[in-house]
Amino acid sequence: MKKRVAIIGAGPAGLMAAEVLSQSDYEVHVYEQKPSAARKFLMAGKTGLNISHAEPVAQFIGRYDQAEWLEPWVRQWDAVWIQNWMKDLGIESYIGSSGRVFPIEMKAAPLLRAWLKRLQQQGVQFHYRHQCLELNAAALTVKDLVSEQLAVQHFDAIVLACGALSWSKLGSDGAWQQWLAKDEIEAFQASNAGVERQWSTFMQPVFGQPLKRVEAWVDDQAKTMGDIVISYYGLESGLIYKQGRALREQVKNGQTMQLYLDLLPDQTIAQLAQKLQPSKKQSLSNVWRKAGLDTAKASLVRELVAKALWNDPLALAQKVKHLLIPFSGFRPIEEAISCAGGIKREVLTEQLQLRSNPRVFCCGEMLDWDAPTGGYLLTACFATGRAAAEGVQNYLSAQE
Ligand SMILES: Cc1cc2nc3c(=O)[nH]c(=O)nc-3n(C[C@H](O)[C@H](O)[C@H](O)COP(=O)(O)OP(=O)(O)OC[C@H]3O[C@@H](n4cnc5c(N)ncnc54)[C@H](O)[C@@H]3O)c2cc1C
């Protein structure tokens, strides 16, 4: 009789596990509580599916907070591997000027369609609208959400690919956490999320406006450059996401969450101070604008720098290039692009097998790793999906 393997979750990690497992002589069942597969993956494709990144692999691996853990898998199934894999599915890709890898059509849907078709041809059995409610050893209690019927199914191995907590309407609701002991999971936190700050009413006219080409950093950490959007709730952008790990560290250490900005990184303090000299012929706003402070940047300076310094060119220049912004926290986890936290590395073997339940393997965003946006999230979901599936193959062949 064929060995039976269940995969819970038809997101990118679960589908990649299914791809590997369906190449062995197993009966592979994918349970997905939503009516269709990979809803978050499709959402990721809405603004252009950034599936990986073509930077040198050492730099690439350094983007993860659990670099050492993920390295063997991400090296093996890197951006080049992903591009070839897509090509094999009939989807051409390209590398953008920033090194980001996208399918040429940008969307996720054509890739997903081709992928699901191939998985079905390889014999994977999909059970949509089927929610796994309980996990006991190798038995799953599954609810058919249409008929409301419950069934207990037994498997030789189970892959958990249930995702983390954000955007729960797309399926990843975190209910799986009850299947594990509390100390097996690092508490989830919002990642790749905006930061919150209560602005004064003077900031309202610049809500939605970008702070262009600024540098951001946390304490003595590395600076990153890019744009930031001023929002009614605080600040948002990929540049903020890149500082997320350092911001979370501040909270963990009991410090106030705060970020430094250099609003005009192309000018030295001396150059800027020269331009910020008050003039009898020009208004302060004009002087600031000519010095490079557009409306959004000038509003932020007015909001955060004491008025007493506005006519002191050197002190003002120093502030513009070293502007401290405290925040009250991150946006809610529900809105975050991804989550930090998840199943801890030490409760898993090197095969991503749960030490407390050797028939269960875990992959994707439900594991305790994190990375900024830029294709790193999907790359690690694919890679851990494959690694968990190989773990299952090794485990099952050792049983023979
Ligand atoms: C708006 C947005 C944009 C993004 N853009 C990018 C991007 O451009 N590049 C990038 O790299 N990443 C991006 N991401 C992140 C990326 O989509 C996720 O990291 C990835 O989808 C996680 O994959 P996963 O398979 O681990 O989990 P998920 O994709 O969350 O899939 C988990 C699946 O498990 C199912 N499930 C959960 N519990 C059960 C249960 N009990 N029974 C049955 N089924 C269950 C869920 O319904 C879900 O379908 C984006 C995310 C968002 C929200």
Q: Are residues 244 and 359 in the same domain?
A: no
Residue 101 backbone zone (phi > 0: left; psi -120 to 50: alpha; other: beta) = beta
Question: Is 54 within the bounds of a domain?
Answer: no
Atom of ligand 1 minimally distant from the CA of 9 = 34
Q: Is the CB of 375 under 6 A from ligand 1?
A: yes
- Positions in the chain short of pLDDT 50: none
Residue 20: phi, psi to the nearest 5? -70, -45
Q: What distance in angstroms lies between residue 37's CA and the mean position of ligand 1's atoms?
A: 10
CA of 173 to the centre of ligand 1 (A): 10
Given 306, 330, 354, which residue is the final one in a domain?
330
Q: Per-residue pLDDT tens for 31-71?
A: 999 999 999 999 999 989 999 999 999 999 999 999 999 99
Based on the fold, state whether residues 130 and 278 are members of the same structural domain: no
Domain hosting residue 240, numbered range: 195-330
185 Cβ inside 6 Å of ligand 1:
no
Would strands 52-53 and 100-103 be described as parallel, antiparallel, or unpaired? antiparallel
Q: Are residues 200 and 183 in the same domain?
A: no
Rounded Cα distance, 136 and 237, in Å: 42
pLDDT of 138 reads 84
44 lines ligand 1 (CB under 6 A): yes
Domain boundary among 307, 330, 353: 330
Residue nearest to atom 29 of ligand 1 (CA): 11
CA dist list (Å): 114 to 26, 90, 124, 396: 22, 8, 14, 29
Name the DSSP class of 178.
G
Place of tokens 């600076």: 223
Is position 76 within any domain?
no
Considering the domain architecture, whether residues 284 and 230 belong to the same structural domain is answered as yes
By C-alpha distance, which of 41, 40, 35, 21 is closest to 130? 35
**Are residue 142 and residue 158 in the same domain, yes or no?**
yes
Give the helix/strand (H/E) hosting 145: none
Is 160 part of a structural domain of the chain? yes
Alpha helices in the chain (DSSP H): 12-21, 39-44, 57-61, 67-76, 79-88, 109-121, 238-242, 244-252, 269-275, 284-291, 295-304, 313-320, 376-399
Which of 304, 330, 356 is the C-terminal boundary of a domain? 330
Asked whether residue 353 is domain-assigned, the answer is: yes
Strand pairing class (338-343; 185-191): antiparallel
Give, using CA atoms, the residue closest to atom 27 of ligand 1.
Answer: 163
Nearest ligand 1 atom, CA 366: 26
Residue 375 is part of a domain; what is its CATH number?
A: 3.50.50.60
Number of domains in the chain: 2
The answer to whether residue 36 sits within a structural domain is yes
CA of 162 to the centre of ligand 1 (A): 8
Residues 313 and 345 in one domain: no
11 in contact with ligand 1, CB cutoff 6 A: yes
Q: For residue 228, how far is its CA from the centre of ligand 1 (angstroms)?
A: 25
Same domain, residue pair 160 and 289: no
Minimum CA distance residue for ligand 1 atom 45: 9
| Ligand 1 binding pocket mutation candidate from 378, 379, 382, 384 (most atoms within 8 A of CB) | 378
Q: Please give the Cα distance from 165 to 172 (Å, whole number).
A: 6
Residue 79 sits at φ, ψ, to 5 deg, of: -60, -40
DSSP 91-117: --EEE-TTSEEEETT--SHHHHHHHHH
The strand pairing partners of 153, in sequence order, are 140
Atom of ligand 1 nearest to the CA of 166: 53
Does an H or E element contain 204, and which? none
Amino acid identity for residue 362 in this structure: C
Reported as type and span, the H/E element at residue 265 is none
Same domain flag for 209 and 119: no
Ligand 1 centroid distance, CA of 12 (Å): 7
Q: What is the predicted pLDDT for the residue at 198?
A: 97
Taking a C-beta distance cutoff of 8 angstroms, is the pair 8, 160 a contact? yes
Q: What is the pLDDT of residue 137?
A: 85
> In what side-by-side order are the strands of the sheet with 100-103?
52-53, 100-103, 93-95
- Whether residues 346 and 369 share a domain: the answer is yes
Cβ-Cβ contacts under 8 Å for 252 (sequence gap 6 or more): none
**Ligand 1: centre distance to CA 361 (Å):** 17
Mutate to test the pocket of ligand 1, among 337, 352, 361, 368 (most ligand atoms within 8 A of CB): 337
In a domain? residue 125:
yes
Report the separation in Å between the CA atom of 343 and the middle of ligand 1, taken as the mean of its atom positions: 16
Ligand 1 atom 38, closest CA: 162
Ligand 1: does its nearest atom lie under 6 Å from the Cβ of 365? yes
Query: Does residue 19 lie in a domain region?
Result: yes
Rounded to the nearest angstrom, the distance between the alpha carbon of 232 and the centre of ligand 1 is 27
Q: Cα(386) to centroid of ligand 1, in Å? A: 16
Q: Residue 365: what are its φ and ψ, rounded to 5°?
A: -75, -10
Is residue 201 classed exposed, middle or buried when 0-12, 13-18 and 19+ CB atoms within 10 A define those classes? exposed
Question: Does 326 lie in the same domain as 261?
Answer: yes
